[in-house]
Amino acid sequence: MPGFEVFGKEEREAIAEIFELNGGIIFAHGFDAMRNDVYRVREYEHAFSNTMNAKYGQAVSSGTAAIKVALKALGVGPGDEVITQAYTFVATVEAIFETGATPVIVDIDDTLNMDPVALKSAITSDTRVIIPVHMMGEAADMDAIMTIAKEHDLFVMEDTAQALGASFKGKSLGTIGDVGAFSTDAGKTLNTGEGGIVLTNNEQLYINARAYHDHGHEYSSSIGRGQEAALCRGFNYRMTEIHAAIGLAQLKKLDTIIENQRANKFKLMEGLKDMGLPFRRSLDPNGDIGDTIVFYLPDRDRTAAFVSAMTEKELGTKNLPDAIRWHFSKHWGHMLDDHPLYGDKVTTSWSKSADILERSIALPVMVKMSDDRIEHTIETLHSIAKKTL
């Protein structure tokens, strides 16, 4: 919960300041004569996109909304197929369904991100977009994915909800494909309670995203909102000034968050490396935001024993395995069972992903971890490994 861990007076003052400066205009648009030139959502969009080195940013109300808005900006709709991966949060697939397109869900590999081989074999003449999801702070194989996308003339939309601030070969995740979607919900690197942002370097995609997230509004600066034209059938996924003010305060802490997490992850990994268990394969350790350590057990039974020993010792895990139900498509019969592509195959598909995920333990790395706590975690895990392996 990095963003939450560093909440302080900066966030509280940022909210109070809006009320002090303009009497509390917390809507991002209009009221120009009254608002004393305070436009926090606009500022946040500029600051966030500058931080990630992207040309355009469109703030929205959640990460789920960001994925949908990004897909709508790409023109995705009924009849299209969108390829994503079996290990992600349900939101990725929900957002694809929301556009009317069909989600095509492929296996991951031992990076815990999209398996490029599985991606390649899932492409059909209806495929429009690939959504790699950078899970738990680390990059998917963007070299392979971008090459495949180019070969087949497909868009790439990066779901960067869990990797805000991470990079791949020096480029911020979420800016390598055509468009990127970020979340700033309560568990993410930056925390605005709810919130998301769409980044792109393509002006037309930005115009499409901006219009769709706000009822189709053209955003013409020369006339008021009431007289503006509508560019498309849209919806309301707007962010409020309060969320953006918190986001601006949080953004200033991004470097500290990542620096601390990475330092703590390094200490933990050093202490855990002789435990005899392989770690998640990393494609760019320098770009990792360091919020998670994943290690693999030899089989499911020993994973279960290991996790129950961790629970006994009050050591928590991240979404593997405690919230796997929300993060692995095998558990999503509620939204896939009635789709002709899946039918009764949901629980038996993605066996490669199942084998990896059901042997994975994800250890959360906090921004604030004392050396004593790190030492205690290392010792506890070593003693569990001795007993269960």
Ligand X SMILES: Cc1ncc(COP(=O)(O)O)c(C=O)c1O
CB 295 within 8 A of CB 288: no
CB 182 within 8 A of CB 58: no
Contacts of 360 (CB under 8 A, 6+ apart): 112, 280, 294, 295, 296, 297, 303, 320, 321
Least CB distance to ligand X at residue 129 (A) = 15
CB 91 within 8 A of CB 187: no
User: Is the CA virtual torsion 115, 116, 122, 128 positive or negative?
Assistant: positive
Range in contact with ligand X (rule: CB under 6 A) among 3-11, 62-70, 213-221, 259-267: 62-70
Considering only 49, 62, 127, 200, the residue that binds ligand X (CB under 6 A) is 62
Distance CA 211, CA 49 (A): 18
Least CB distance to ligand X at residue 326 (A) = 8
Range in contact with ligand X (rule: CB under 6 A) among 34-42, 108-116, 156-164, 350-358: 156-164
Q: Is 185 in the site for ligand X (CB under 6 A)?
A: yes
Considering only 58, 64, 200, 303, the residue that binds ligand X (CB under 6 A) is 64
Distance CA 134, CA 88 (A): 9
| Residue 312 CB-half CA count within 13 A | 10
CB 291 within 8 A of CB 365: yes
Contacts with ligand X, 103-142, as mask; x by CB under 6 A: ------------------------------x---------
Least CB distance to ligand X at residue 330 (A) = 16
Q: Which is nearer to ligand X, 63 or 287 (CB)?
A: 63
Considering only 26, 154, 161, 362, the residue that binds ligand X (CB under 6 A) is 161
Range in contact with ligand X (rule: CB under 6 A) among 84-92, 97-105, 210-218, 235-243: 84-92
* Alpha helix ranges (H) inside the chain: 2-5, 9-22, 40-52, 63-73, 90-99, 116-122, 142-152, 203-213, 241-251, 254-272, 300-312, 324-327, 333-336, 351-357, 371-388
Q: Which is nearer to ligand X, 160 or 377 (CB)?
A: 160
The residue written with tokens 């392996």 in the block is 389
Residue nearest to ligand X (CB): 63
Q: Which is nearer to ligand X, 57 or 207 (CB)?
A: 57
Q: Which is nearer to ligand X, 5 or 218 (CB)?
A: 5
Contacts with ligand X, 91-110, as mask; x by CB under 6 A: xx------------------
CB environment 265-283: b (16+ within 10 A), e (fewer): bebbbebbeebebeebeeb
Considering only 99, 162, 167, 175, the residue that binds ligand X (CB under 6 A) is 162
Q: Which is nearer to ligand X, 212 or 306 (CB)?
A: 212
Under the rule (CB under 6 A), what is the footprint of ligand X? 62-64, 88-89, 91-92, 133, 159, 161-162, 183, 185, 196
